[in-house]
Structure 1
Amino acid sequence: MTHRVEIDIGGRPLILETGQLAQQANGSAYVRFGDTVVLVTACAQTEPREGLDFFPLTCDYREYQYAAGRIPGGFFKREGRPSEKEIVTSRLIDRPLRPLFRDGFRNETQVIALVLSADADNDPDVLSVVGASAALSWSDIPFERTVAAVRVGLVDGRLVANPTYEEQKVSLLNIVVAGTSEAIVMVEAGAREVAEETIVDALQFGYEQIRKIIAGIQQIREQLKAQKWPVTPPSVDQELYRQIESQYRERLTETSNTEVHKKKESYRLVEALKKELVASIPEEQEERRQEAARYFEMLREALFREQVLKQRRRPDGRAFDQVRPITCAVGLLPRVHGSALFTRGETQALVTVTLGTKEDVQRLDMLAEEDAKKRFMLHYNFPPFSVGEVKFLRGPGRREIGHGALAERALSALMPDGEGFPYTVRVVSDILESNGSSSMATVCGGSLALMDAGVPMGAAVGGVAMGLVVGENGERAILTDIAGAEDHYGDMDFKVAGTRRGITALQMDIKTTGIAPALMAEALAQAKKGRLEILDRMEATLATPRAALSPYAPRIFTLTIPKDKIGELIGPGGKMIRSIIEATGVKIDVMDDGKVHVFAVDEPSAAKAMQMIQDVTATAEVGKVYLGKVVRLVDFGAFVEIFPGTDGLLHISEIAEQRIRDVRDELKEGDQVMVKVLSVEGNKIRLSRKAVLREQREKQRRTTS
């Protein structure tokens, strides 16, 4: 039996269905908005995985090219490894779901979202979050609370729910909000320097749409009456816990104090205490050893929360709104186009910028746009040495791609357009040291490196990670610039990036059941104070973009040619433009409006290429004299090339002042001759050597007299 519900979102129907597709999954949801359709399934193993201290949830989002009526490229003609968009969307689905499963559930669970149909208007990412929540809610998997998501845009001064792709292009805000019927659990946003008050309004607007979607999901849930699997929360042996607390409380408090010990030293001391505890239990009591290790971690968290909420003190001694010490440096690497080193506490990012040509753009195979190109990209690397570990170096993982996407979004709002700065720009952030907030260090370092490279950014961009600790009795603490332990044991990770004028990127994840918009407004206000302080430090190092590019960066020279000459410049099969590139070593980009960009590493190469372009595309002017080359002789005259690829007819009567019987008596192929343009009719050019000779003789006569 099929169950269906329609929900009005922004004046358009959001359709949710179940009961027809993927019936062997624990739960499935068919989601349609416009002509975009997503199928989301949820499956879980019936038995928990032994020995896990975390919930093994996997979320996968895939876009099929057939959804947009296309066949994949490449040799195999089928979808390959997931794209960056698919990975980022997989994370978008995972983040609001994970905190809402029942405590103690350790069964391997997988959510798969498949895009089955894609129109040119509606993004399937938020539909996938809605579908994932619906599939889990309608299943027997112990998913605790129903969640929903909506995208909010700011178009022409009004907030829009689930804006189309075209509306997103002009929107000042692109924010995805996810929440339960009680509170917001996730935020992901990009913005064009939007004020904090506008962000809060958008969150409230989105929250209203979320509650409507949740009501629709719950309507079908009540019809299905699915019985959730029972989950037994992990029990606590209070006597053993009290023993561990009595024995290790004082020492654990001292070793966790990062005001005294650096992160690595503190971690080593804490691990030594943990090993001491485990070693005190006989080897044959393996379960009790594991239990003791779990209680040790519980005690660490309890001590952290007690310190923050009751003692009102952070592990490193900072005030709640205090930023760690910051140092900045630019221009460190001699041959790169731009570089910066940003250090905040024990987090350090080395960020570099490379300027390329339009040939270096990233070509994307997207459902929304068939021939999409990306001219600004940011890549984030997190090598194991940044946290003192030994691991294999592999390709970027989901976390690295997600952090890079966040930093890229934060900086892209201030990047110049392709008309004013026709470079492809690649930013690479290598995290050299990490103790929290490395993605925001990437934003800060990226902004400095771009300015060091001479990229004309609109303003400097800074970022800060905020934290939240909430007590059982409602007491709370908002923390600015959280370190690793505060991120691990806290209840919220809220990253805010922006300029002095406003916010350019947001990302919030919550580990509790949610956060009210009013509390987010308070966190945003505290984040602004921290962001402005960080910008002060950055601008003291480099306040504006450098006036000149690096001497090793490609130079761009622009000239304009007649539109009807574009074909001549390119030549048959690209022959002409290739010959110029090979002769000069430059790169050439020809625009449809006749603008030609020449990319060169030095001015002489560019000058030579531009002269060759002008020669190829020049137009013969009547009355002007040119130095031409005889390319062909005929009985009635000669054809003379006055520009590369442009010939004119030098009639036999115009070769000499006297009458000649045979052209070959005066000229031979390869001769260089001065000729004057008599007339231009379409592609036909009439030339005269006789007129030039007569003018030369007359000039000589006037000189001698």
Structure 2
Amino acid sequence: MIKLPKTFTTTIGDTDLSLEFGRLAPQADVAVMARMGDTCVLTTVVLGDERDLGYFPLSVEYVEKLYAGGRIKASRWVKREGRPSEEAVLKGRLIDRSIRPLFPKSFKRDVQVVCILLSFDGEHSPEILAAIGTSAALHISQIPWRGPISTMRVGYVSEEGDEEAFIINPTEDVQDYSKLDLIVSSTNKKVLMIETMAEQVSEHILIEGIKHAHSTNVQIIEFIESIRKEIGKPKIEVVENEAVYNMKKTLKAKYASEIAILTQKYAARDDDAMVVKKDLVATVVGQNPEADPKVIADAIEDSLLDHVRTEIFEHGKRIDGRKLDEIRELKIETHLLPRTHGSALFQRGLTQVMAVATLGPTSLEQYIETPEGEATKRYIHHYFSPPYSNGETGRMDGPGRREIGHGALAEKAIMPVLPSKEQFPYAIRVVSEVMSSNGSTSMASTCGSSLALMDAGVPIKAAVAGISIGLMCKTDDDYVLLTDIAGIEDFAGYMDFKVAGTATGVTAIQLDVKNDGLTEKMIAETFEAAKKARGLILDQMGTVIQTPREQVSQYAPKVLMLTPPEDKIGEIIGSGGKTIKGIQARTGASIDVGDDGKVTISGTDQAAVDRAAETIKNIYREVHTGEVFKGAVKKILPIGAMVEFLPGRDGLVHVSKMSSGYVRNPGDVVQEGQEVQVKVVNIDERGRVNLTMMLDDDAKDSGGQRDDTGFRGAEHSDRRQRFHKTDRFHR
């Protein structure tokens, strides 16, 4: 435990990075406050007891506190932060994927990392701070870990006529203009983790961006190394499990053929694979009664993976007989479901995903509350992987971290090709239903999403496909890349390098490794293999659906978006919402006025949407002298009648403009609610509209010309003369 607070500082570009140890959370094994600008993240690391769960019990929690941005939860009833948001889960996964490969395989003690966002300035990325803080905390702790690492974000700006530029550690406002959001975790020599969304950029740009990130990471790693020299703790020694190692030698010597058969059954997902494994465990126990059945089972699992690697390295043969760069058989369909807005089935080998697209008005966008503020999300991708997709039983709870992560990756891959809200004013949700899982369902979800969106008539810029590349290696120079890895190859291999994109360039990347990282050469060759495979998949997708359908489904809502002048929004809504409610009632369309002033009109009937749009346009359109309208009499006055000639817009028909003959009482000519045709005579300086019911240009009015206002008769000589004649008669 560090007794006294101590702060260490370095510089990243123009920004100071400080790591403060020992001030907060004194009972944690290590606690570090990382700070850039006014963004502060507290990272704690605690070492627990040993638990042999069959995997390393590491948990990484990223916690967002709304107070970090000076906000209180908007809900009127719940003010406490609840379960982690999807963004928080993804940031926790990013850190987990960066640090997990460097723990010893035989280390089975609980390790919990908690990163809490305490202050956010809206400029500096808290997840980058959290990852760097985690690396520093683990490195100075007693926990065995082959770090340190560093994590860095890189942006890329390229405007026509301007010089291209990579931006290290971009602020939030600069990142908004970047064509690339690249996050790289690495040791001082190799790359461990990549997370990327890109606007169809080339592989060359990505490789250069990774180099820039790695170069900066090396500086931060040297900084963390200097901290360990000053305050680091002795590391716990880890003893390898000799029992499993010795049992693997026994299995290799005596049960090689049984292991080979069992490996084939696992690869093919045969129903009796588990039964054969149990029989093999029983056989080995019978011949080695002193052996622990659990040790035997673990040794068999390891031997299966060793067999997969051996077949590839010694025989150049994949377990399913494919070539190293061969994609499994593809099966592609669209328009599977009759009433959904868009659907597709994408199958690669035994991996099968059905994607379903649903369209809605922009009022159905997802609202997200973060320390930075409230935001909306227009494109939503949800990924579901139920137990039956693996031929298993299990609980059907909400989405887990893996499902959230896979859905987010497919979402990232599609977002760069979506049309703008102005081009396609819809909220879009895609659901990936994993029907069968045997490797790279996230990339199958990406392909299925692209197909479903085109089937739904969403005018995406280009089709998107994705592929996963695996790695088998003995050394950094002796390795093999595998295109389209199946499930057992994923378990046996050392990387899962997912690349999605169009024929033009890459839109998303996700890299996870199980070794100490990838060299620059490995990364470059992986990009090359992924590009080749992506092209083949896109070609086959194109044989099913080449371009988005010209019209959305008949069952999808029809949506129009209008941008009226700001000063006309009140007129569109009307007093107490009277005008907008009236339009909805008359047309049957739904109307929503957004905070940005845009008016969204939606409905299943295109004619109703068009009528509502025309009505709203008429509210804020300019009215010109001589235009003729059909309107309803709203009120009868002593001097004439008020006529609503456009929704929410009234004009005065003066009594002298109601008829060519003399009109004593306006009520003798019109009644309230009566529909009449009127023509615009003029519009005065106060914007008041004067109307006439005499549409014939040659018709002569009964009382000469009105005055400029039109709200009172200008000359009354004719009427006065008639009045005097009548008066004399009575006398």
- Which TM-score bucket, shorter chain as reference? over 0.9
Quote the offset at 1:237 in angstroms.
6.3
Matches within 5 A, 1:520-559: 520-557=523-560
In 2, Cα distance between the equivalents of 1:561 and 1:687? 25
Q: Is the 8 A contact 2:262 2:304 kept in 1?
A: no
Aligned to 2:66: 65
In 1, Cα distance between the equivalents of 2:430 and 2:507? 17
Identify if the C-alpha distance between structure 1 residues 616 and 236 changes in structure 2 by more than 3 Å, giving closer, same or farther.
same
1:55 and 2:62 aligned: no
Quick one: which amino acid aligns to residue 334 of structure 1? P
Q: Is the 8 A contact 2:422 2:561 kept in 1?
A: no
In 2, Cα distance between the equivalents of 1:291 and 1:39? 40
Aligned to 2:108: 106
Quote the offset at 1:285 in angstroms.
7.0
Among residues 351, 360, 385, which one is paired with 2:355 in the alignment?
A: 351
Q: Is the 8 A contact 2:660 2:699 kept in 1?
A: no
1:497 and 2:504 aligned: no
Secondary structure of 1:255's match? helix
Q: Is the 8 A contact 2:572 2:619 kept in 1?
A: yes
Among residues 161, 173, 178, which one is paired with 1:166 in the alignment?
A: 173
In 2, Cα distance between the equivalents of 1:640 and 1:460? 53
Quick one: which amino acid aligns to residue 590 of structure 2? K
1:20 and 2:23 aligned: yes
Secondary structure of 1:8's match? strand
In 2, Cα distance between the equivalents of 1:636 and 1:480? 85
In 2, Cα distance between the equivalents of 1:636 and 1:509? 81
Secondary structure of 1:373's match? strand
Quick one: which amino acid aligns to residue 575 of structure 1? K
Tell me whether 140-149 or 233-242 shows the greater mean CA deviation. 233-242
Quote the offset at 1:298 in angstroms.
2.3
Among residues 250, 254, 271, which one is paired with 2:261 in the alignment?
A: 254
Aligned to 1:125: 127
Among residues 507, 513, 517, which one is paired with 2:520 in the alignment?
A: 517
Q: Is the 8 A contact 1:410 1:443 kept in 2?
A: yes
Q: Is the 8 A contact 1:656 1:693 kept in 2?
A: no
Question: What's the CA shift string for 1:171-217, capped at 9, x where partnerless?
Answer: 12111111112311111111111111221111111111111111111
Segments of 5+ residues of structure 2 without an aligned counterpart are: 159-163, 703-731
Identify if the C-alpha distance between structure 1 residues 393 and 653 changes in structure 2 by more than 3 Å, giving closer, same or farther.
same
In 2, Cα distance between the equivalents of 1:65 and 1:583? 43
Q: Is the 8 A contact 1:104 1:233 kept in 2?
A: yes
Matches within 5 A, 1:411-560: 411-471=414-474, 474-557=477-560
Tell me whether 23-32 or 604-613 shows the greater mean CA deviation. 604-613
Question: What's the CA shift string for 1:648-705, capped at 9, x where partnerless?
Answer: 333344444444544445444344444443332224233344676972999xxxxxxx
Aligned to 1:702: none
Aligned to 1:649: 652
In 1, Cα distance between the equivalents of 2:678 and 2:535? 68
Secondary structure of 2:166's match? strand
Quote the offset at 1:269 in angstroms.
2.9
In 1, Cα distance between the equivalents of 2:154 and 2:167? 6
Identify if the C-alpha distance between structure 1 residues 78 and 573 changes in structure 2 by more than 3 Å, giving closer, same or farther.
farther
In 2, Cα distance between the equivalents of 1:379 and 1:395? 11
In 2, Cα distance between the equivalents of 1:160 and 1:697? 74
Matches within 5 A, 1:521-670: 521-557=524-560, 561=564, 563-590=566-593, 596-617=599-620, 619-670=622-673
Aligned to 1:213: 220
Quick one: which amino acid aligns to residue 203 of structure 1? I
1:300 and 2:301 aligned: no
Quick one: which amino acid aligns to residue 458 of structure 1? K
Q: Is the 8 A contact 1:305 1:469 kept in 2?
A: yes
Identity of aligned residues (%): 39
Quick one: which amino acid aligns to residue 108 of structure 2? R
Secondary structure of 1:296's match? helix
Question: What's the CA shift string for 1:119-138, capped at 9, x where partnerless?
Answer: 12111111111111111112
Matches within 5 A, 1:267-286: 268-269=272-273, 271-278=275-282, 281=285
Quote the offset at 1:392 in angstroms.
1.6
Question: What's the CA shift string for 1:2-50, capped at 9, x where partnerless?
Answer: 32222221222111221211121001111111211111000011x312x
Secondary structure of 1:546's match? coil
Identify if the C-alpha distance between structure 1 residues 84 and 286 changes in structure 2 by more than 3 Å, giving closer, same or farther.
farther
**TM-score scaled by length of structure 2:** 0.89
Quote the offset at 1:430 in angstroms.
0.5
Quote the offset at 1:227 in angstroms.
1.7
Identify if the C-alpha distance between structure 1 residues 34 and 254 changes in structure 2 by more than 3 Å, giving closer, same or farther.
same
Q: Is the 8 A contact 2:6 2:21 kept in 1?
A: yes
Aligned to 2:293: 289
In 2, Cα distance between the equivalents of 1:612 and 1:121? 43
Aligned to 1:264: 269
Segments of 5+ residues of structure 1 without an aligned counterpart are: 699-705
Identify if the C-alpha distance between structure 1 residues 237 and 118 changes in structure 2 by more than 3 Å, giving closer, same or farther.
closer
1:310 and 2:310 aligned: no
Identify if the C-alpha distance between structure 1 residues 250 and 610 changes in structure 2 by more than 3 Å, giving closer, same or farther.
same
Q: Is the 8 A contact 2:40 2:120 kept in 1?
A: yes
Q: Is the 8 A contact 1:328 1:342 kept in 2?
A: yes
Question: What's the CA shift string for 1:380-405, capped at 9, x where partnerless?
Answer: 11011111011121111000000010
Aligned-residue RMSD, C-alpha = 2.6
Secondary structure of 2:196's match? strand
Q: Is the 8 A contact 1:586 1:600 kept in 2?
A: yes
How many aligned positions are there? 692
In 2, Cα distance between the equivalents of 1:240 and 1:560? 72
Quick one: which amino acid aligns to residue 420 of structure 2? D
Secondary structure of 2:699's match? helix
Quick one: which amino acid aligns to residue 136 of structure 1? L
Secondary structure of 1:568's match? helix
Aligned to 1:687: 691
Identify if the C-alpha distance between structure 1 residues 283 and 373 changes in structure 2 by more than 3 Å, giving closer, same or farther.
farther
Quick one: which amino acid aligns to residue 268 of structure 2? K
Quote the offset at 1:409 in angstroms.
0.6
Secondary structure of 1:104's match? coil
In 2, Cα distance between the equivalents of 1:235 and 1:173? 47
Quote the offset at 1:594 in angstroms.
7.7
Secondary structure of 2:482's match? strand
In 2, Cα distance between the equivalents of 1:666 and 1:30? 82
**TM-score scaled by length of structure 1:** 0.93
